[in-house]
Amino acid sequence: MTSETPWHKSTYSGNQGHCVEVAEGPTTHIRDTQHRALAELNLPAHEWSAFLTTLTR
């Protein structure tokens, strides 16, 4: 991931300490805030958008 795409807390995360952070761009990066160093998911932006659309139905 490049430094030009900053991480931010997902608006879908609650305030109970179980948060997801995303860095959006041509590729969307997703990680668990409690385990940042373990791994991240990387999805093409159109797949991330489709995922969010499915969640809000």
Rounded CA gap, 14 and 25, in Å? 23
Question: pTM of the full predicted structure?
Answer: 0.72
Q: List 29's β-bridge partners, or say none.
A: 23, 42
* Residue 23, pLDDT score: 92
pLDDT band (50, 70, 90) for residue 43: very high
Residue count of the chain, please give it: 57
pLDDT digits (tens, 9 = 90+) for 2-34: 556 688 887 666 676 678 899 989 999 999 888
Question: What does the pLDDT average to over 43-52?
Answer: 92
pLDDT at residue number 1: 53
pLDDT of residue 55: 84
